[in-house]
Structure 1
Amino acid sequence: MKRAMWLAAACGVAMAAEARGQTITVNWSQDDGVDFAMPQTVANLPGPDGHVTLAEAVIAANNTAGAQTIAFNVPQNVWSTLFGTQVCMFYHSNMHYVSGDDTTIDFTTQTTFTGDTNPNGNEVGLYYAGAPSSIPNLWLAGNRITVKGADRFLGNNFEQRLWVTGNDCRVIGCTTTGLTIRGDFGGGERNLIGGAGVGEGNVFTGAVNILSRAHGNLVKGNVFRWGFRLSGDTLNGTCDNNVFGGATAAEGNVFAGRSTTGQEGLPTGTELEIYHARNTLIQNNKVGTTNDGLARYAGRTGATGIGIGIGAAGTMVMDNIVGGIERTGSNHYQGVRFGVAITVAASASGSVIRGNRIGVAVDGLTPILNVQGITVLSDPNSTPSNTLIDGNVIARNETSGVRILYAGSARVTRNSIRENGGLGIDLDVMGVQANDAMDGDAGPNGLQNYPVLTSATVRGASVEVAGELRSMVSRAYVVELFASSGCDASGYGEGARYLGSVHVTTDGAGIAAITTTVNAVASAGEVLTATATDVATGYTSEFSACVTATTAPCAADFNADGVVDFFDYLDFVSVFADGGAGADFNADTVVDFFDYLDFVAEFASGC
C-alpha cells in the first residue's frame, strides 16, 4: 500500500509536463523597477524605460493566461554583482511571488547568452536587500511552476530563500542556498526537487525543509550540504508520502556537511531528519559520504546521519549508504566521540531499516566508519517503537553495531553485523547482558535472553547446531544462526553471515532445546553465534557466546585411520558378512542390505 502511494506521488509529479508558450526575456538587473502599464500583462512589456526586470516579468506572467517562460539576457555591463563578475545578482526589496500556473523561470538562458562565467555554479542569483523580514526571495504559489538553473538566493530575510506552496512544481539544476516546501498554504504537494537526468539535480548549501501538511513530494538526484528537515507538526498536521531518492542509484541524494556545535562543545546536526511524518521513503541515498559513496565526506558532518524523530510513522529506510558520521567534542566534551548513522526516536513507530550499508562503502567492504551504527531510543512514557532492522550490512563502526536503549524495542533479523568496535547488538548499558532465570527482567527489548550454543558440526553444505534457549515459559521464539571468521573480543557475537533460523517453543520450565540442521555453507574453524527473537513481541536478544564449528567425522572412514580408501570397504564388508552390530550403518537396529547401500553411497562420495 505504501509503495502504491509513493508511486502515485511520482506519477503526479511526472504529470507536471512542460507546456511552454510565450517567452518573457529579462534584460535588466535593477530588479525593483516596475514601470509598465495596466493590466500589466506580457502584451504591455516593456515599459517606457525599454527594460524588462525580473519583477516585471513575474507580474506579467501572473496576469497573462497560459504557459509563460521567463528567460534572461542581461548584458554583463549592467550586472549587479556580489561575487566579483561571476554572478548576476538581482537585488530586490520585495519578494517575487509567482502565482501564474505553468510558469517556467529558466535561469540557464543567461548562461546561453553570456557564457559560463561562474565555475562554481550558475550565473543568476537573487539578493533580498529590503528591511529584515522572513519573506522568501522567490515564492512559487501557483501550480506546475518550474525553476531551472538558479544560483544563490541571499539577503536579509533570515534564510527564507525559495518557498514552494503550489502543487506539481519543479526545481531543477540549481546551485543555490535553501528551499522550503510548505503545506500550510493549501498546497505543497507532488513537487519534484531535482531529478535523475543529467543536469536535473540541485546542489543546496543552505537549509532545506518540507513542512506542515506537504505531501507526496519527490526529492532525488540532489546534493545537500546543510541538511534536510521533513517536519509536520501537531498543530497543522503531518507530512505524508514524501520520497527521498528512489529505486535506482541515479535517483539517490547526497546528504553531507550539516555540522553544528551546541553549548559547551557538544557536536550537533542531523543530515536528514524526519518529524511528524507518515510513510516516508528514504532509498538509495548516500549520507555522510562523498558523492560516489566510496569515502567519507571531506568536510565535517552532523552528529547523526538519518534521524527518525518524534511522531514519525511508517518510515522506510532502505538501500542507503551511511558512513563517516563521526565527530569529536570540544570544551566540556573534549575528546568525547559522537556520531550515530541512524537513530529512531522515542515516539517513532513502524520504522523499517532494510538493506542499508552502515559503516562501509558502496562495495560493502571499504570502511567508512561511524561512531555507532543504529540506535533505537524510547522512554518510559512512550509506546515501544516496533522498529524492524532487516538485511543490513552493519560493519566497521567504532562502538556498537545496533544499540537499543531505555524502553526501546526492535526486531533485528538477517543482518550482516561484523567488525564493530563494540557488541554487534547491545541492549541497555554497554557490554554483555547476563541471561536471567525465566527472562523476567525489564529493559530495552525486554532484555531478551540469548541462546546458548553447545556445538556446531559442518556436514558438507549443511551445519548441525545444538544448544538451548532459557526464557519465558511456554513461549515461541525464532533462533537465528550466524557465522563469522572470528569471535568478538567479548566472546559474544557478532554475526557476519546469516545461515538460517529455527522456531522453538519453551516448556513449562522456560527451556527449549535447539537441535537443527541449516542448509548453509560454513567452514570448520569459523565461529557460530545465535540470537533469539520473541515471536509475540518482536524483541531480539544480543548475540550468544561463540561456538567453534567442527567437521563431522566421515562415516565411510570405517577403520578410523583418517583416510577413506579400499581398506575401509573391505573392513565394512567383513563386519557386514558376519552380521556384526558395527555394520548397522543407518542405525535402525537391523543389519540388512540397506546398510550396505548406505555405506557404499557414503564411500563413493568420499565424505
Structure 2
Amino acid sequence: MKKRYGLLPIGLLVGILYGAALLPVAHAATCTQTVTNTNNSGAGSLRQAITSANSGSNADYICFSIGSGAQTIAPTTSLPPLNQPVTIDGTTQPGWTSAPIIEINAGGTSDSNPGLWINTSNSTLRGLVINRAKGNGVMITGGGGNTVAGNYIGIGLDGTTKLGNQVDGVGMITANNTIGGTTVADRNVISGNAANGIGITNQAATGNKIIGNYAGTNAAGTAAIPNYGDAILLNNSQHNDIGGTTGTTPGGACTGSCNLFSGNTHNGIGFYLADNNSVKGNFVGLNASGTSAVPNDDIGIESQEAAGITIGNATAAGRNVISGNKGAGILLTGSATTGNVVAGNFVGTNSAGTGAVGNYSIGISVGNSPGLGNGYARNNTIGGTVDAAIPCSAASTPCNVISGNGQNGMILSGGSGTGNLVLSNHIGLDINGASNANVRNGMDGIGILNSPNNTIGNDLGTGRNYIGANGGAGIVTAGDATDTNTIAGNYIGRTRDGYSGNAQGGVVLWGGYNIAIVGNSIGENGGYGIDIDGNKVSQNDAGDGDAGVNHHQNFPDVYSVRNNVGSSTTTTVSGMMSSAPNKQYRIDFFNSAGCNAGKPDNYGEGNSYVGSQIVGTDQFGNISFSYQTPTTLPGNTYLTTTATLMDGSSPRETSEFSKCRVVNASKPAVSNGANWLLKDDLTEGVQDQQFGYGFPPNMLLCAWDPAKPGTKLPVVVSGNTWFFRASYTTGVADKVVSYGPANGKPVCGDWNGDGIDTIGMVDPAMRWTLRNSNDGGPANADFQYGGAGIPVVGDWNGDGRDTIGVFETDTSSWRLRNENNSGVPDYSFQYGGLGTYPVVGNWNGGSSDGIGTYNPGNGEWSLRNTLSGGPVNTHYYFGQSNPRPMIW
C-alpha cells in the first residue's frame, strides 16, 4: 500500500464498498416527511425534509413520491447534515422494484462536503443513488448505529455508468455502523469513486459491519467500475467486521454477507495501523459468480503495520476467495504486522477451489513490500493445525488453498526474528489436495528470502502442508539472512491421493543457514529432493567442515536395508555417518518406490517418511548406526536418509538425501586382485564403489559387524587368518581372527538367526566346521556334507538362518540343505553352465535367497529367483575377465 487515499474536510481518511440489484422490501414505518419534487429547496424538497427532520426530537422517516419512476435531485448547494435520527428511504418512490431510482447528483455543489452526511446516530440511508459529490458520497460522523443499505454510490441509475464522488464512496469515523446487509435488497454498489470505496478511520471507529456490498464493479458484479483507491481502507480503526458468514454459499457465488471487492485501482482491502479487524466470507478480485477475474490493480488484501487481523476462519462459510488481483493475493507487511491469522481461504482459485483465477504475482507475501521501507511482518500464521487426514474440502479446517497464482504460491521475506507459521495448506493443488494442471502456481510453492525463524509445517502431522505441482520448486530459500527456518512434516511433491511433483526440486537451498528439513515426504519432483546450492549432489567431505548453505551438511552412507535380520520382524537399516566430531544428529529415513534421481547419481528423494533416530558422532566425527523401521518396508523399494545437526532438542542444518539403497535385495560385487568393485543394482554398467583391501584369492562379503546388522562387509582370509574390515574403504583390518584349517574354503553366514554372519571353513573332504561367533574356538557345528564342488550358503526357506549347499561344477548341480548338519539335500536341481561360478542372493526383495551363476570369462550374471532349474529371471554383464564374484 504505497498510498493511502481519501481525506474528508474534517480529516477523515476513507475506504471502499460495493453494491448490486435490489429486491422489493416492505415498508412498515410511517412516513413523517415526503419528498414530492426535485427542487433544490422549498416545500416538498429533500432539503426541506432533512431540515424538518433535524428540527424535531423524534426519529423521522423520509419517503419519496416524485411522480413515478427514476428521478434525479441535483442540489446546487450541499444538503444539510443529518443531525437527528432519520431514515431516508428511496425504495418508497412509486415504480421502485429492485434497483434504486432516486438519484442525488451532488455535482452542482461548489463545496467539498459529502453527498449525504450522517452526523447523528441510528439513521438509515436506503435505495438511493449518490454520485458526483466533491467530497465523500456518504460520510458518517455521528454517534453510531447507522445503516447504509441498498444504494448505488459513485455510479449512475443504470448501475454501469461511472459517476464517482471525488473522495470516498462511504467514509466513517464512528462506531457500530452497518454498511450493507445480508440480502440482495441491502447490497450497496460503491464504485467509481476518486479515492476508496469505503474508508474507516479513527480509533473510535470500532464495531462497524461491512456486509454484502459490491465495491469496484457494476451492479451485476461482472465488470470493473474502479474506485481509484482501495475497495475498503481501514486506517487506525479496530475491531471491525468485513463480511461474515450469514447467508454465504461456499463454493458458489458471492451471496449473503459476502462482499465483492473487485476492479479497483489499488487494493481490494487495506489495513493501515488498524488492529484486530476481521475479514470473513468475501470475494476479492473476482466476479460475483466466483468464476473469473475482475482484478484489483494491486493487492487483494494488504495488512500494513496492523496486528491481529483475521482473514478467513476454519469454516467454509468464513472463507475468503482472493484471486485474480494484479499484485499479490495477500500482503502482510511492516514490523507492527504481527499476530495476523490467514485461515481457510482460497488464494488464486475460483470459488469452488477447482480451477485457477490466479493472482498475477504471488499468492501470499509475508515480509516487506518493496519500496515501502518499513519493517517485516512477524509472528503471523498462514493456516493452522488440523488432523492431517482432513483436506481443505472439509467443512471445518483452517487450510488455505494457495494455488493458480502467476508466480510463487507464497513468499516469506526479510527481517529479524520473523517467526511466521505456515501450517496445513494446499499449495499448488486444489481444494481436495489433488493435482490439477489448472491450479498450479507458476513458480515455486514457497520462497523464503532473507527471512529467519519461520516454520513450514510441523513434525507432528497436524501442520502438514501439501506442496505439489508447482511450476518451480516446492520450497526455495535464498539469501544469507535466511537463518533458523524449519521445514517439517510436509508432503512436497505428494498429493492426498498420490504424487504430483513440483517441476524443479523438492527443497532447493540457494542460501541460508540452520535450515532444518525433517519429517517431510518429498517425492516425484523434477529435480532432487533436497538440493543445496542447486548443483544436484554436494558430495560429502571429510570432517564436514566446509562453509556455504547449511554448511553443506554431510548425508549418511547407508550400507544395507534388510528385512527380518536376526530376531527383527521389520526392516533393519545399517550404515555410517561422518560429520563434525562430538555432535548429535537426527537421521531421517524414507522409503520410495523408485530412486527418483536415477543414474548416474542414484541420490533419491524420500516419498514416504518412515521415522528418525538421534545419533552422536565420536571424537573423529564418525558413527555407525542401525535402525529398525516401525513396519516392514516392501522388498525392491528404495530407502534414503538425511542427516540434521541438532542443537539440544532442536533440529538445525539438514543434508541432501543419501544414495538410494534397495530394500531386501542383494547387489553384485567382484574382486579384481585386491580391488573391490561394488554395484548398487542388478544392471549392466561400471561399479558404483571401488576400494582396495587385502589380497586374493579368499575374499568374502559377510555381515559380521554387530553395529551394522545385515550389512555385508569385506573379509579376507589367508590360510586360517580372517581379516575383517568395517567399511567399504581402503585401510587396515578392524578385526583379526584365527580359525579353521589352513587348506579350507572360507564361508560365512548367519547360522543361528541372530542377525550376524559368523565364520566357517569347508576342508577339501567337505567337512564343515561352523562357529556362531567371530573368534577363535571350537566349532559349534561340525559335520560332513556334499561331494566335490564349491560350497554355497543361503537362507533357502526364509526362516532367517543361513544353511549349507554345494554347487557341483562338472554337472552344474545344486544340492541345498535347510539344516546345518549331515543329511540329504532338501533342494536338488541343475542350473548354470560349465565354467560358471555360483552366486547366492535375494534378487527380488522376497524373504528367501535365490541362486545364480557368474561367467568369469565375460562377466555374465544369470540369476534365478527360485530354487529350481529354469529360465533366467535377471541377466546382465558386470566385471572384468576372471574376477571373483561376491554379493553384498
Normalising to structure 2: TM-score of the pair? 0.49
Matched to 2:381, the amino acid is: M
Instruction: Point out where structure 2 has 5 or more consecutive residues left out of the alignment.
Output: 1-27, 41-45, 106-126, 181-185, 217-229, 248-255, 286-295, 369-375, 384-398, 459-463, 494-500, 511-532, 666-709, 711-749, 755-792, 804-815, 824-846, 849-888
- The answer for the alignment partner of 2:409 in structure 1 is 341
Query: SS of the residue aligned with 1:37?
Result: helix
Matched to 1:197, the amino acid is: T
**Which of 180, 184, 197 is matched with 2:232 structurally?**
180
Query: SS of the residue aligned with 2:652?
Result: coil
Matched, 1:377 2:459: no
CA offsets per residue over residues 71-100 of structure 1, 9 Å max, x none?
540545945599xxxx97421413111133
Task: Spell out the pairing of 1:212-227 with structure 2 (5 A cutoff).
Answer: 212-225=272-285, 226=296, 227=299
8 Å Cα contact 1:99/1:140 also seen in 2: yes
Shift of residue 363 of structure 1? 1.9
Shift of residue 417 of structure 1? 1.4
Distance (whole Å) between structure 1 residues aligned to residue 356 and residue 634 of structure 2: 34
Distance (whole Å) between structure 2 residues aligned to residue 100 and residue 417 of structure 1: 54
Query: SS of the residue aligned with 2:654?
Result: coil
Query: SS of the residue aligned with 1:453?
Result: strand
* Alignment length (residue pairs): 499
Matched to 1:374, the amino acid is: I
- The answer for the alignment partner of 1:560 in structure 2 is 795
Which entry has the higher C-alpha Rg, 1 or 2?
2
8 Å Cα contact 1:70/1:104 also seen in 2: no
**Which of 377, 383, 405 is matched with 1:312 structurally?**
377
Matched, 1:456 2:551: no
- Matched-pair identity in %: 21
8 Å Cα contact 2:35/2:65 also seen in 1: no
Distance (whole Å) between structure 2 residues aligned to residue 28 and residue 393 of structure 1: 63
Q: Compute the RMSD of aligned alpha carbons.
A: 4.4
Matched, 1:364 2:433: yes
CA offsets per residue over residues 490-523 of structure 1, 9 Å max, x none?
6444333322222223333333444222314642
Distance (whole Å) between structure 2 residues aligned to residue 346 and residue 524 of structure 1: 46
Matched to 1:424, the amino acid is: G
Distance (whole Å) between structure 2 residues aligned to residue 479 and residue 521 of structure 1: 18
Task: Spell out the pairing of 1:380-395 with structure 2 (5 A cutoff).
Answer: 384-390=452-458, 391-395=464-468
Shift of residue 151 of structure 1? 4.4
Matched, 1:200 2:252: no
Shift of residue 241 of structure 1? 1.0
Select between 390-399 and 350-359 the one with higher mean Cα deviation.
390-399
Matched, 1:324 2:366: no
- The answer for the alignment partner of 1:581 in structure 2 is none
Shift of residue 125 of structure 1? 9.1
Q: 1:47 to 1:312 in 2, by over 3 A?
A: same
Normalising to structure 1: TM-score of the pair? 0.70
Greater relative CO, 1 or 2 (CA 8 Å, sep 6+): 1
- The answer for the alignment partner of 1:465 in structure 2 is 573
CA offsets per residue over residues 110-141 of structure 1, 9 Å max, x none?
9xxxxxxx9xxx997996645xx5x3110132
**Which of 536, 547, 564 is matched with 1:432 structurally?**
536
**Which of 179, 185, 201 is matched with 1:147 structurally?**
179
CA offsets per residue over residues 201-240 of structure 1, 9 Å max, x none?
22210322333321111111111113434333xxxxx311
Query: SS of the residue aligned with 1:362?
Result: coil
Matched, 1:190 2:205: no
Distance (whole Å) between structure 2 residues aligned to residue 53 and residue 22 of structure 1: 23
Distance (whole Å) between structure 2 residues aligned to residue 502 and residue 147 of structure 1: 58
- The answer for the alignment partner of 1:18 in structure 2 is none
Distance (whole Å) between structure 1 residues aligned to residue 74 and residue 659 of structure 2: 69
Matched to 1:257, the amino acid is: G
Q: 1:499 to 1:59 in 2, by over 3 A?
A: farther
**Which of 204, 209, 229 is matched with 2:269 structurally?**
209
Matched to 2:365, the amino acid is: G
Task: Spell out the pairing of 1:206-605 with structure 2 (5 A cutoff).
Answer: 206=264, 207-225=267-285, 226=296, 227-232=299-304, 238-259=305-326, 269-276=327-334, 277-297=337-357, 300-310=358-368, 311-318=376-383, 319-326=399-406, 339-347=407-415, 349-367=418-436, 368-370=439-441, 371-378=443-450, 384-390=452-458, 391-407=464-480, 408-409=482-483, 410-418=485-493, 419-428=501-510, 429-432=533-536, 434=538, 435-458=540-563, 462-489=570-597, 491-520=602-631, 522-536=633-647, 538-541=651-654, 543-551=656-664, 560-562=795-797
Q: 1:59 to 1:399 in 2, by over 3 A?
A: same
Distance (whole Å) between structure 2 residues aligned to residue 574 and residue 544 of structure 1: 41
Shift of residue 462 of structure 1? 4.5
CA offsets per residue over residues 10-49 of structure 1, 9 Å max, x none?
xxxxxxxxxxx98999989989964432736774664999
8 Å Cα contact 1:446/1:539 also seen in 2: no
Distance (whole Å) between structure 2 residues aligned to residue 496 and residue 538 of structure 1: 21
CA offsets per residue over residues 371-424 of structure 1, 9 Å max, x none?
21111111xxxx734444432111122221111111213211111112222221
8 Å Cα contact 1:230/1:239 also seen in 2: no
- The answer for the alignment partner of 1:15 in structure 2 is none
Query: SS of the residue aligned with 1:250?
Result: helix
Distance (whole Å) between structure 1 residues aligned to residue 30 and residue 213 of structure 2: 20
Shift of residue 57 of structure 1? 11
Distance (whole Å) between structure 2 residues aligned to residue 281 and residue 414 of structure 1: 21
8 Å Cα contact 2:191/2:215 also seen in 1: no
